[in-house]
Every structure is written in structure tokens, then in C-alpha cells.
Structure 1
Amino acid sequence: MTSTDELWSSKRILITGGAGFIGSTLALRLADLGAQVTVIDSLVPEYGGNLFNLRDCEDRIRINYSDIRDTFSLKPLLTDVDILFNLAGQTSHMDSMSEPHTDLNINCGAQLNLLETCRRLNPTIRIVFASTRQIYGKPHYLPVDEDHPISPVDINGIHKYAAEQYYGLYHSLYGIRSCILRLTNTIGPRMRIKDARQTFVGIWIRRLLEDDPIEVWGGEQLRDFNDVEDVVDALLTAAWNESSYGQVFNLGSVQRISLRELAELMISLHGAGDLVIKDYPEERRKIDIGDYYSSHDKFSAITGWRPRIPLDQTLERTLAFYQSHRPHYL
């Protein structure tokens, strides 16, 4: 047994959004490490939960069908937990603009209720909260580090940043051990591909599989991408690193690529396909951030974490996954 196995063996873990893309990948890893895993997911169709994501570990975990907005259902689940990975949230930027109060309830109100429940019932819990690069808005400089000004361009970014402030306050006032990871574009098997609510890469994969051209809006914007397995490594690392508590970290990659180049790479790996360059739709142009890529230097310096999986390997593995399991994701 490795030291990593010993660290996680029999630990009581709760994952909100655990049937979703990142949450299910984390649940699989933790189940393999011998942890006692409970996942919470509302399975609201718009938010990405999919029980097929958990098929490889459903006999080794506990699944609770509840909504993080329901404080009553959270209380018994949080009482005896060692570590909470809080991945539940509304992630669609466009949905946040059309339904701002729903975004407020999920990305702010539910987060405050969760922290207050932990303060009252389980103040020794450790929490890793998944935030987003979207809080920075349009970059003033690149790569974006944690000192970059906060200037969200949509409702989702405002609410995510407000939630971060709750976590910071509860750490400083009440000693709740929490760490915030600001994720960049995370991709890999189990992500949502039926639409672009979770990531535009998902809908690109769907179009490839259905022999439709990929629509690239703009095309020259630079982005960075993290493999979901690298993100899971970061989540696990943050949970146990005492120096991470009370802090905020960016994730990110050493590789940057334009949207056009990304589409061309995906077509090449798939072996067929086409792309169409289009102007940004007017409603999206208003919240487009242009080029964006992150610096993960702060997190790497403190924890030793670094992204390890090249983008082409991630895309190749992801495309193969959906070739085999497409019906379960459409």
C-alpha cells in the first residue's frame, strides 16, 4: 500500500455535483483509493449530472439525490465528513445572464448555507471549492495570476467571486479549513457534450461525432486546457496541504492554443471533419474575454502540483471515450 492509499483509505468524503464531469472522475479516483465516498447530485438536466458517469464505482459509493440549495438534506450528510469537495454549481455563463436569480441561489445562497451548516455541525471539516477563471473577466495581462484584478463580465463570475469571499471569511473568522481552486477550461471523458452549457469543447465533440462542421467563433483567441485527471490530482493535493487553507489558486497549463488550432487538432485526431469560422453572436460578444491563459505557479510552488497530460493525449482519450459511449451523453 502506498502512502497515498494510506492517506485516503477509509476517509469519509462528500462530493457535491458528484454525478457531473469533474465530480464523477474524482469519485472514481477516491473509490479506487479506498475512501468512503458519498456523492450529492440533483440530476437537474441542465447541469450535467449523469449516472452513467458513476457506472464503474456505483457499487463502492453512496449516491444521494439532493440539491445543495436544500439545507435540510445537507445537514445529515455533512455531520461526519472528513473532506468536502464542493463542485456543484451553475456553470453556464449564458444561463446566468438569462436566469440570474437561479445562478444567485446556486452559486451564492447555497454556498453560504453550506458553510453555515459546516460551522455549526462540523467545524473541523476540510473543504476544496471549485471556482472559475471567469471571475477575472478580460485579462489585463497574460498569463493571469492570482494578483490580477477581478472584473467579471457576467453574472456567473460575480456570484462565483462572492462565494469565494464567503469561504475566505469563514476561514478567517471561524477556522473552517478551505481552499479555492480557480479552474480554467477542464476537458476529458464524462464532460457534457449535448450542448455548450459546460464547455464549448463538448459541443465540438458532438458535432464531430455527428459529421457536422465545428463552428469556431472568432478563432484566434488563445486558451489553456487542463485534463480532468490533472484537475483531480490538484483537488486531492489541495485537500491535504495545510499551506493551502485560506488561499486561492489558479490552475492552468503550460500549453496555449488558439480556438482555430484546437478545432484543427480535434479534426486531425478524429480523422475526419470540417470547421467553419464565424463571427461571435452579438449576445456572446458582450461577454467574450479574448485571449486567456492562467499561471499555476503559486499552486505549484506550494504543493508541487503540475499539469502532466499533454492536450493531444487528452483529446485523443476523450474522443475515444465518446466513440464508445455516445448514446449515454446525448
Structure 2
Amino acid sequence: MKKPAPSFAKAFKGKRVLITGGLGFIGSNLARTLVKLGAKVTLLDSLIPEYGGNRRNVRGIEAKTNINLADVRDRHSLPEFLRGQEFLFNLAGQTSHMDSMTDPETDLEINCRAQLTLLEACRKHNPRLRVVFASTRQIYGRPDYLPVDEKHPLRPVDVNGINKLAGEEYHLLYSQVHGVPSTVLRLTNTIGPRMRVKDARQTFVGVWIKQILEEKPVEVWGGTQLRDFTYVDDAVEAFLVAATHPQAVGKVFNLGGVGRISLRDLAALLVDVAGQGSYTVREFPADRRKIDIGDYYSDCGLIERELGWKPKTNIRQALAKTVAYYRKELPHYL
């Protein structure tokens, strides 16, 4: 992992930081960086099997973090975790778009109602807590134009997107009306070590990497869709920038990746980077097509102009680092 910037060390050393979804993909990578920065890190995670939490993600830093198995839907325990904290990275969520369509009530509880509960607890027990909320590019729906900037209309195509949009609005409202200083980051296709690979609930790239390493052919649905990908270390840096930059409060920013690539070319690149495996292209399944957004890649110029963040890791580098991690760690993620 890249050496943390000195300014981050000054901002976080000795500070109390809470990460919801802290045993998950981005949360655990964020925790590792914050531990290096000298922060006092508390991780909150439900470890529900269908979601992204995995104790393996924090191997080596367990003794340097305070790990709590709790659910953000539990309104009675939240005040205890929030009191005294100085930063909250709110990454707890249900990420599967298909699950949100087959079980919309659970998605509502986690991605919408629990967010309101969490912010109410902040208002009552720690109103100056600095909050950064992880949202998703899914809320834009099918793009009217590319690349997609923050001015694009918001038209979610699934229940997950609707609930994440409500979660965003709650954070912005509580920042504006109640003074709970919050920032929203709209993530797009974040990949890297510690992501979920045993199924597609988090990202299809994880499944592809698992299949490549198991010598199984990758299935590419469609193949012409264009995407951009953010490497997790770059995403972590964006969260730290958003939490510490005074210009970030009350605002929404897109994250993005270096360049864009079709899914067919992504599969070919993954095979090349791994030095093994194969892929086949098939027609897009009907149930997935209904919620597919087609081409999508982000315009993340706003966060670069206002906060100075931009992605650094290109897709080949991101895939190479991720494949190298799972060559050693795959059994712990199945």
C-alpha cells in the first residue's frame, strides 16, 4: 500500500475514527491506512454472510483496531459507538443490485432507514462528527451523456439505487439543517485486494478473478459496455481527502478511474495480466438487462478541482495487484 501523505498523518494521528462496514472491502483497506496514520480505529460490521465483511481483511491489524460485531439497523447500540468519535466513514450497505430487486425490504432497511437512524444518533449524541458517506454511480441510471458528471439527472434503475439516493439526501440534509458535517462520494466499480470474489454481490470483476485463478472460463455478458474502474488505494485516498478538506462539507463528488475499457477488453486484459484463463462472450441475460445501465464512465473533474484528488492507478496496474493478492489469499475468500 502506498505510503500515506504527511498531511493525512497530521490530520488523523491520535484521532478517533469509526468505520461502518469496517470488515468489508473498502472499509478494511481504509482501516489499514488509518492504522498506519496513527488513528484510533473502531470497526463496526454485522458480518452478515451475504455482504462483504471478512475477518481476513483485517489480518495483522486486529490488535490495533477495536472490532465490534453490530448492525447499523440496531438503533439502541449506535449512540455508544458514535460518542467521542471525530470521524465517521459510513460504508455499511447492501451492494447487490439483484438482491435489492428480489428482497427490496432488506435493502430499504440497510441503505435507507438505517442511514436516517445513524444520522439521528449523530445529531443527538455527536453533532460535530465529520461524516463521509459511500454512495454509488448507480443512482444516475442510464446515462444521457458521457462522461457522467454530478449535474447529470438522477434516475436509479433498481431499488438499491433509489435507497442509496435517499441515503445521500439524508446526509446532505443533516449537514445543511442540523450541522452534521457530511460529504457524499459516488463510487464507480472499485476493485482491489479484499473485495468479495465468491459471487457478484459486490462486483463482477471479483468473480472473474476467482474464475481465472480456478482455470474456469469467464463469461462476458454483452461485452461492448464501457466502464471505468477505481483502484481501492485511490478510493481510500479520496475518503481521507473528503474527510479533511474544508471545501468538501455538504457536497457530492464522483470518483472515477484512469481511462475506460469495454468489458470484452477488460476480460482479455485480465487473462493477459494473470497469464492464464480464458473468456467467452454471451448474450446479456434478460433479468440483468432490465437493470443494466449500458455504458458508464465518470467525470471526476469536480473533486480534482475542489479537493485535489484524482485517480492514479490504471486498470492494468489495478488488475495486476488484485490478481497477485488473490493468488495467495483466494481460499480465505471462498
- What TM-score does the superposition give when structure 1 sets the normalisation length? 0.99
Partner of 1:206: 210
Matched, 1:323 2:327: yes
Matched, 1:150 2:188: no
Matched, 1:177 2:164: no
Partner of 1:253: 257
Matched, 1:94 2:68: no
Where in structure 2 are there 5+ consecutive unaligned residues? none
Q: Which amino acid aligns with 1:210?
A: E
**Distance (Å, rounded) in 2 between the aligned partners of 1:39 and 1:159:** 23
Q: Which amino acid aligns with 2:89?
A: F
- Where in structure 2 are the equivalents of 1:285-324 lying within 5 Å? 285-324=289-328
Runs of 4+ in 1 over 3 A off after TM superposition: none
**Distance (Å, rounded) in 1 between the aligned partners of 2:10 and 2:213:** 41
Verify the 8 A CA contact 1:39 1:61 in the aligned structure 2. Answer: yes
Deviations 1:122-163 (A, max 9, x none): 011000000000000000000000000010000000000011
Question: How many matched pairs?
Answer: 330
**Distance (Å, rounded) in 1 between the aligned partners of 2:193 and 2:62:** 17
Q: Secondary structure at the match of 2:184?
A: strand
Q: Which amino acid aligns with 2:43?
A: V
Verify the 8 A CA contact 1:253 1:295 in the aligned structure 2. Answer: no
**Distance (Å, rounded) in 2 between the aligned partners of 1:168 and 1:28:** 28
**Distance (Å, rounded) in 2 between the aligned partners of 1:144 and 1:248:** 13
Partner of 1:61: 65
**Distance (Å, rounded) in 1 between the aligned partners of 2:259 and 2:175:** 33
How far has the Cα of 1:254 moved from its partner?
3.4
| Stretch deviating more after TM superposition (134-143 or 163-172) | 163-172
Verify the 8 A CA contact 2:119 2:174 in the aligned structure 1. Answer: yes
Q: 1:195 to 1:174 in 2, by over 3 A?
A: same
Verify the 8 A CA contact 2:230 2:258 in the aligned structure 1. Answer: no
How far has the Cα of 1:321 moved from its partner?
0.5
**Distance (Å, rounded) in 1 between the aligned partners of 2:203 and 2:65:** 27
**Distance (Å, rounded) in 1 between the aligned partners of 2:280 and 2:83:** 52
How far has the Cα of 1:311 moved from its partner?
1.2
Verify the 8 A CA contact 1:131 1:181 in the aligned structure 2. Answer: yes
**Distance (Å, rounded) in 2 between the aligned partners of 1:103 and 1:2:** 39
Matched, 1:282 2:286: yes
Q: Secondary structure at the match of 2:216?
A: coil
Matched, 1:27 2:28: no
Partner of 1:52: 56
Q: Secondary structure at the match of 1:127?
A: strand
Q: Which amino acid aligns with 1:195?
A: D
How far has the Cα of 1:2 moved from its partner?
3.5
Give the % identical residues: 58
Verify the 8 A CA contact 1:129 1:180 in the aligned structure 2. Answer: yes
Partner of 2:166: 162
How far has the Cα of 1:167 moved from its partner?
1.0
Partner of 1:73: 77
**Distance (Å, rounded) in 2 between the aligned partners of 1:144 and 1:56:** 39
Partner of 2:244: 240
Verify the 8 A CA contact 1:86 1:127 in the aligned structure 2. Answer: yes
Q: Secondary structure at the match of 1:71?
A: coil
Verify the 8 A CA contact 2:16 2:84 in the aligned structure 1. Answer: yes
**Distance (Å, rounded) in 1 between the aligned partners of 2:154 and 2:10:** 39
Q: Which amino acid aligns with 2:318?
A: T
**Distance (Å, rounded) in 2 between the aligned partners of 1:8 and 1:133:** 28
Partner of 1:225: 229
**Distance (Å, rounded) in 2 between the aligned partners of 1:75 and 1:174:** 17
Deviations 1:71-109 (A, max 9, x none): 111111101100000000000000000000000000000
User: RMSD of the alignment, in Å?
Assistant: 0.9
Where in structure 1 are there 5+ consecutive unaligned residues? none
**Distance (Å, rounded) in 2 between the aligned partners of 1:277 and 1:2:** 46
**Distance (Å, rounded) in 2 between the aligned partners of 1:287 and 1:50:** 28
- Where in structure 2 are the equivalents of 1:7-22 lying within 5 Å? 7-22=11-26
Partner of 1:116: 120
**Distance (Å, rounded) in 2 between the aligned partners of 1:194 and 1:176:** 37
Q: Which amino acid aligns with 1:175?
A: G
**Distance (Å, rounded) in 2 between the aligned partners of 1:5 and 1:289:** 39
Deviations 1:170-200 (A, max 9, x none): 1111111000000000000000000000000
